[in-house]
Each structure stands twice: as C-alpha cells, then as structure tokens.
Amino acid sequence: MRAAQAKGVACAFLLVIGCLLAGAATGIAYLSNPLGPWDHESFDHVRLFSKLGLTLALLTTPIAVLAVTRRWLRLWWLVPCTTIMLVAWARLTVLFPAH
C-alpha cells in the first residue's frame, strides 16, 4: 500500500467515525422535543446535543479539507461534514423549539 493510500484510509476512518458521532448527536437534538415551556430539561438536551454535534462536525471538517486538498480523498467527502455542521447549527439557532 502506498503512503498516500494509507493516509487516505486513515483520514476516511477518522471522518466516518467523526461524522457518525456528529450525526448521532445532531439526530438526538432533533428528536428531543419539549412538551411545553416548563420542560427545561428538553431545552437543555437540545442545546447540549446541538452543540456537541456542531463541535464534532467542526473538528472533522479540517481533516476532510486536508485530505481533499492533498488529494488523498475525493471532493464529496466534504459534503457530510458540511451538512451535519449546517443542520446542527440550524437546530441550535433557527429551528430551536419555542419557549
């Protein structure tokens, strides 16, 4: 196996793990729906898991950018990180449940 292939496989492994974790956290944020304005725990869960998903997506994006610019991976590897980042940000800001 060439060095570039090994680096690509390592980056792909990190990206898959990071995107799965970020996607799971973001999915939990979308599944946590408060029962009403008194349900502060659900609001806290939405904030926590949205921030966790956003943070994990932000941590995996530089790996994807590095791997794509070095041509270890193809351009489409940027799509999952960017999508999860935007979806988590939307849940944290625009799509946050109303109090």
Cα 56 from chain centroid? 5
pTM over 0.85: yes
pLDDT confidence of residue 28: 96
Q: How far apart, in whole angstroms, are the C-alpha atoms of residue 49 and residue 41?
A: 12
What pLDDT shows up at residue 1?
72
| Boundaries of every domain in the chain | 3-92
Dihedral sign computed on CA atoms, order 21, 73, 66, 81:
negative
* pLDDT of res. 10: 95
Checking if the pLDDT of 99 tops 80, the result is no
Do 73 and 8 contact (CB within 8 A), yes or no? Answer: yes
Contact 18, 54 (CB under 8 A): no
pLDDT at residue 69, rounded to an integer = 96
- For the chain, the 3-state helix, strand and coil shares in percent, each to the nearest 5, are 80, 0, 20
